[in-house]
C-alpha cells in the first residue's frame, strides 16, 4: 500500500526502539543492563493508584470534556500559580494524552509550511520530527561548543524573517543542562522583538540537583508569558509514564484551537487517568522530593563512574535523569556513537542511546533511572569491553 509522504518521513522513536530491543534480549535470557529508559524505574505512588481505582469503581468511565476535566485543569492552574507565580485560568489549559501529545497538538496548531522553529541541539528526539510533520522547518542550533548551553547570540544568528517559534527544554533531555536566567532573559527579549513563540518544555522541572532553583522563561515578564506555552505532565515527576497525561498552558485562543484539533483526533485523555493526575498534583508531595534525592545520588555515582572510562568526557547533569557523555576517544574507531552503541550492546550487553538521535553524534545518553548496582556493573562492563579494543 502507498504510505503518505508525511508519514513516510517520520522516523520511529529511537529511544522506544532501544527499550524494545533490551526487553527482547532479556526475554531471550540475556543479562542486559539497560541505560535507555526514558522513565523513572519507580512505580506510581500508591495513593495515586488507589484514588484512581476508586474513581474507576465509582463509574468515572465516561467521556470527559475534550481538554480535560475542570477539576484537573483547576489543579494545574493552582500548581502553576504556586510554582511559577503566574495567574492562569482553566481556559489557558489543555490536558492531552501525554506531554508528547500536547507538543504535537501545539506544533500542529501554531506552525505550517514556510515557518521555521529554532530547536537547540542536543534536543529531545521528538522535537524535529514533530515540527517537520507540520510542514515547518526545524532549525537546529548546535550548542555543543558552549557546554550544551544555548546563548542569545546563537539564537540571534538563527533568526530569519520566517522564524515563528523556539523550543526551550530545561532541564534538558538528553543533556541534563539547565538554562541560565540571564541568558534566558536575553533570549526572551529577542523573541519579543521578533514576534517568536516560546515553547517551554518544563517536564523535568521537579528533578533538579545541587540546590539549583528551576527558572522558567514564562516568568520573565507578562509580555514574555503571553507568548510562552508551558509543557508539563505527570510522567516524569510522579512516575506515571503509562498513564499518558500531559498538558499545555498558554494563550487561551491557541488552547481553544488545540482543543478543536484534539476533538477530531483523540478526544479527551483517559477519564480515570485524569483523576490520578489530579490526585498527584493535590496529594502528598513527599515522595517527589524523596525520589529527587535518589536521582541526585545516582547522578553523583554515574558521573564519577563515567569519569573512569577512558575516552569519555562528562559534564555533570544539573537535572533530569540523563547523563550525556561525549566520546572523543572513540570517535575515530567507531565513526560516531551509533557504532559504539552497537559494540557495547553486543560485547558488554549494555544498552545506551546513540547521540546521533539527539543531534549530537559524538555523545551517548545513559539514563540513570536504574539502580546503583546497575550503574556500577553497567559502567564496569563498558570499561572492560572498551579495554579489549
Ligand atoms: C523533554 C521531553 N518532553 C516531553 C516528553 C513526553 O513525555 P510524556 O509524553 O510521557 O508526557 C518527554 C519524554 O521522554 C521528554 O523527555
Query: Candidates 14, 107, 167, 173: which one to mutate for ligand 1, based on the most atoms within 8 Å of Cβ?
Result: 173
Please check whether residues 277 and 290 belong to one and the same domain.
Answer: no
- Do 236 and 356 have their domain in common? no
Query: What's the confidence (pLDDT) of residue 9?
Result: 86
For residue 203, the CA-to-ligand 1 centroid distance in Å is: 7
235 lines ligand 1 (CB under 6 A): yes
Q: Same structural domain for residues 252 and 290?
A: no
Tell me, yes or no, whether 53 lies in a domain.
no
What is the whole-number distance in angstroms between the Cα of residue 99 and the centre of ligand 1?
6
pLDDT at position 336, please?
A: 87
70 CA distance to ligand 1 middle (Å)? 23
**Tens-digit pLDDT profile for the chain (389 aa)?**
999 998 998 877 767 777 778 888 889 999 999 998 889 999 999 999 999 999 999 999 999 999 999 999 999 999 999 999 999 999 999 999 999 999 999 999 999 999 999 999 999 999 999 999 999 999 999 999 999 999 999 999 999 999 999 999 999 999 999 998 999 999 999 999 999 999 999 999 999 999 999 999 999 999 999 999 999 999 999 999 999 999 999 999 999 999 999 999 999 999 999 999 999 999 999 999 999 999 999 999 999 999 999 999 999 999 999 999 999 999 999 988 989 998 999 899 999 999 998 999 999 999 999 999 999 999 999 999 999 98
- Domain end among 229, 253, 282: 282
Pocket of ligand 1 contains residue 246 by CB under 6 Å: yes
Whether residues 220 and 155 share a domain: the answer is: yes
Give domain status of residue 39, yes or no: no
CATH of the domain at 118: 3.40.640.10
Atom of ligand 1 nearest to the CA of 97: 9
Nearest Cα neighbor of 190 from 166, 225, 162 is 166
User: CB of 344 closer than 6 A to ligand 1?
Assistant: no
CATH code assigned at 378: 3.90.1150.10
| Domain closes at, from 222, 252, 282 | 282
How are beta strands 364-367 and 322-323 bridged, if at all? antiparallel
Write a three-state SS string for the chain.
Answer: CCCCHHHHCCCCCHHHHHHHHHHHHHHCCCCCEECCCCCCCCCCCHHHHHHHHHHHHCCCCCCCCCCCCHHHHHHHHHHHHHHHCCCCCHHHEEEECCHHHHHHHHHHHHCCCCCEEEEEECCCCCHHHHHHHCCCEEEEEECHHHCCCCCHHHHHHHCCCCEEEEEEECCCCCCCCCCCHHHHHHHHHHHHHCCCEEEEECCCCCCECCCCCCCCHHHCCHHHHHCEEEEEECCCCCCCHHHCCEEEECCHHHHHHHHHHHHCCCCCCCHHHHHHHHHHHHCCCHHHHHHHHHHHHHHHHHHHHHHCCCCCECCCCCECCEECCECHHHHHHHCCHHHHHHHHHHHHCEECEEHHHHCCCCEEEEECCCCHHHHHHHHHHHHHHHHCC
Q: What is the pLDDT of residue 150?
A: 95
Please state the atom number of ligand 1 nearest to the C-alpha of residue 169.
Answer: 1
Q: Is residue 48 domain-resident?
A: no
Spatial CA neighbour of 350 closest among 298, 386, 297, 312? 386
Q: How far apart, in Å, are the Cα atoms of 337 and each of 19, 158, 188, 329, 363?
A: 17, 27, 33, 11, 6
Residues 317 and 367 both lie in one domain = yes
Q: Is the CB of 99 under 6 A from ligand 1?
A: yes
Q: Does 92 fall in a domain?
A: yes
Domain presence at residue 381: yes
Q: How far is CA 207 from its chain centroid?
A: 12
Final residue in a domain of this structure, among 231, 253, 282: 282
Shortest-distance atom of ligand 1 to CA 39: 14
Residues 120 and 145 both lie in one domain: yes
Nearest CA to 92 out of 218, 255, 229, 247 is that of 255
CA of 26 from ligand 1 middle (Å) equals: 25
pLDDT recorded at residue 364: 97
The pLDDT of residue 19: 77
Do 123 and 259 lie in a common domain? Answer: yes
How many separate domains does the chain show? 2
Q: What is the pLDDT of residue 37?
A: 82
What is d(CA 85, CA 79) in angstroms, rounded to the nearest whole number?
Answer: 9
- 35: in domain: no
* Residues 14 and 133 placed together within one structural domain of the fold: no
Candidates 282, 242, 290, 236; CA nearest to 51 is: 282
Residues spanned by the domain of 240: 62-282
Amino acid at each position: 500500500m502507498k504510505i503518505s509522504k508525511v508519514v513516510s518521513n517520520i522516523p520511529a522513536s529511537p529511544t522506544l526502539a532501544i527499550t524494545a530491543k533490551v526487553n527482547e534480549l532479556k526475554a531471550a535470557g540475556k543479562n542486559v543492563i539497560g541505560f535507555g529508559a526514558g522513565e523513572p524505574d519507580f512505580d506510581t505512588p500508591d495513593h495515586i493508584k488507589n484514588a484512581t481505582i476508586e474513581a474507576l469503581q465509582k463509574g468515572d468511565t465516561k467521556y470527559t470534556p475534550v481538554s480535560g476535566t475542570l477539576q484537573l485543569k483547576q489543579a494545574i492552574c493552582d500548581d502553576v500559580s504556586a510554582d511559577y507565580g503566574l495567574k492562569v485560568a482553566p481556559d489557558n489549559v489543555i490536558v492531552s494524552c501525554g506531554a508528547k501529545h500536547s507538543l504535537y497538538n501545539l506544533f500542529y496548531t501554531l506552525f505550517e509550511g514556510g515557518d521555521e522553529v529554532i530547536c537547540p541541539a542536543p534536543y529531545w528526539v521528538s522535537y524535529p520530527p514533530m515540527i517537520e510533520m507540520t510542514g515547518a522547518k526545524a532549525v537546529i542550533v548546535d550548542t555543543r561548543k558552549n557546554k550544551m548551553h544555548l546563548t542569545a547570540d546563537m539564537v540571534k544568528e538563527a533568526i530569519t524573517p520566517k522564524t515563528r517559534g523556539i523550543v526551550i527544554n530545561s532541564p534538558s533531555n538528553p543533556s541534563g543542562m539547565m538554562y541560565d536566567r540571564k541568558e534566558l532573559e536575553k533570549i526572551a527579549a529577542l523573541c519579543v522583538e521578533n514576534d517568536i513563540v516560546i515553547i517551554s518544555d518544563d517536564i523535568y522541572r521537579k528533578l533538579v540537583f545541587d540546590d539549583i532553583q528551576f527558572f522558567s522563561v514564562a516568568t520573565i515578564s507578562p509580555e514574555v508569558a503571553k507568548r510562552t506555552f508551558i509543557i508539563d505532565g505527570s510522567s516524569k515527576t510522579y512516575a506515571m509514564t503509562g498513564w499518558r497525561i500531559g498538558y499545555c498552558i498558554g494563550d487561551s485562543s491557541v488552547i481553544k484551537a488545540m482543543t478543536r484539533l484534539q476533538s477530531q483526533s483523540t478526544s479527551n485523555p483517559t477519564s480515570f487517568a485524569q483523576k490520578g493526575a489530579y490526585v498527584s498534583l493535590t496529594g502528598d508531595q513527599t515522595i517527589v522530593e524523596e525520589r529527587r534525592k535518589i536521582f541526585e545520588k545516582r547522578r553523583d555515582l554515574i558521573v564519577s563512574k563515567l569519569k573512569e572510562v577512558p575516552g569519555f568526557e562528562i559534564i555533570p547533569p544539573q537535572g533530569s535523569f540523563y547523563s550525556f557523555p561525549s566520546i572523543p576517544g572513540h570517535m575515530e574507531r567507531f565513526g560516531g556513537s551509533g557504532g559504539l552503541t552497537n559494540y557495547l550492546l553486543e560485547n558488554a550487553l549494555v544498552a545506551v542511546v546513540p547521540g546521533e538521535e539527539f543531534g549530537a553524534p559524538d555523545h551517548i545518553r545513559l539514563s540513570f533511572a536504574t539502580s546503583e548496582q546497575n550503574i556500577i556493573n553497567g559502567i564496569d562492563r563498558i570499561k572492560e569491553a572498551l579495554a579489549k579494543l
